[in-house]
Copies of this chain bind each other. A is one copy, B any other.
Amino acid sequence: MTTIDELLTRGVAEVIIERELRERLAAGKPLRLKQGFDPTKPDMHIGHAVGLRKLRMFQELGHQVVLIVGDWTAQIGDPSGRDETRTRLTAAEVRSNAETYMEQFFRVIDRSRTEVRWQSEWFGTFGLEQALDLAGRFTLAQMLAHETFRKRYEAGAGLTILELMYPMLQGYDSVAMQADVEFGGTDQKFNILAGRELMAQLGMTPQQVLLLPLIPGTDGRKMSKTFLNTVDIGMAPNEMFGRMMSMSDAVLPLYFEVLSERPMVEVHEIRQSLATGTVNPRDLKMGLACEVVAQFHSPADGEAAEAAFVRQFVQRELPTDIPEYRLESPTPLLDLMVATQLAPSKAEARRLIDGGGVRIAGERITDYAVVLQPGAGVVVQVGRRKFVRVV
């Protein structure tokens, strides 16, 4: 029962041009919704899910998704927001990344109302003449209006002419696909507007634009693998649930707005009750975590993950905001304890184990020689207050 107003505002950063998009929606004709992706980093997280969910809602209104696999632009690498020229991928890497991406994409999107198109369909037969024609339609001044380009040029960085061509190619996708609406993050605004410009130059009706917000990670900082604050769509149910539970109270209302099915009126109540302290944030987090796992896996997976979480943390009175520590290789317990400051030295670590104060996944440890594996997901506990989750 989503209204058009909610469709165009909830979890939406900007609509260009809103009046025109409303008119197109009101006309009742199925629209071609362009969503492109560069198969460079196949791991999608809930930040991407915001856009996928929005696309899905449009699908449910009868519109058609056109998923563009950027097998050509991936080989350039979108320069948006980047400080350096990107390394170019091989065709095999691109194909494999695209498969991983699509496996995740179709956890949210209805495959039966999606056209998957590879850029090589049109760029594979593109000649130099067409490339030069595109390059003649944009001035350097227009391109340097792009903050990324301007900053890199002004910093003396090695911005290549190749990178200046990226927005044109993305724009041409819209021409080739006769897109009605393009979806993308706010960092895509420049590239998507290049598509509008190109369509207008070629006498087509320029596409409408729906820009999605970049949401913060679970800890409120910029979402980034380095910060371990992402919730990846590819995560197994229990890991996904656990990572959702690590979110800070501050991001909770926004996450409800963009990731849950709750009506906006309920989201406002949640924000209110958190502000006045009339609700236990952990209960809200469990509810949202369950809903998110259900979206990317199944409702049963959501409930099972919740039950497992309760067994592991709530009943054993573990905190839910245990810091994570990423192992690169198998690591002896004594080394880990020193590295994570669970013990000041290996000698002290041995003394703690001798005293029976060290547990792994709830089991008391008596053997110094235990080795922890990367990705184990187990909690190492020292005494009642010190915890580290090994990932």
Contact = CB atoms under 8 A, between A and B. Distances in A.
Interface of A: 72, 75-76, 88, 123-124, 126-128, 130-132, 135-141, 143, 149, 153, 156, 158-162, 164-165, 168
State the 7 A-B residue pairs at the shortest beta-carbon distance, nearest first: A136-B162, A126-B128, A135-B162, A135-B161, A131-B131, A139-B158, A140-B159
A146 to B, nearest CB: 12
Contacts of A168: 161
29 contacts: A72-B128, A88-B136, A124-B127, A126-B128, A127-B127, A128-B131, A131-B132, A132-B162, A132-B165, A135-B160, A135-B161, A135-B162, A135-B164, A136-B161, A136-B162, A138-B160, A138-B161, A139-B159, A139-B160, A140-B140, A140-B160, A140-B164, A141-B153, A141-B156, A141-B158, A141-B159, A143-B161, A161-B161, A164-B164
A158 to B, nearest CB: 5
A88 B129 CA distance: 12
A130 to B, nearest CB: 7
Contact of A137 (B156, B160, B165): B160
Contacts of A131: 128, 131-132
Contacts of A141: 153, 156, 158-159
Contacts of A75: 132
A140 B161 contact: yes
- One complex includes copies of this chain to the number of 2
Nearest to A139: B158
A357 B143 CA distance: 66
Majority secondary structure of chain A interface residues (helix, strand, loop or mixed): helix
Contacts of A139: 158-161
A161 to B, nearest CB: 4
A100 to B, nearest CB: 24
Nearest to A158: B139
Contacts of A72: 128
A88 B133 CA distance: 10
A75 B126 CA distance: 17
Given A127-B128, A141-B159, 6 more contacts: A124-B128, A132-B162, A139-B158, A140-B149, A140-B153, A140-B159
A127 B165 CA distance: 15
A31 B365 CA distance: 80
A93 to B, nearest CB: 16
A201 to B, nearest CB: 12
A132 to B, nearest CB: 6
A343 to B, nearest CB: 51
A128 B127 CA distance: 6
From A75, A160, A161, name the one whose CB has the most chain B CB atoms within 10 angstroms: A161
Contacts of A140: 140, 149, 153, 159-161, 164
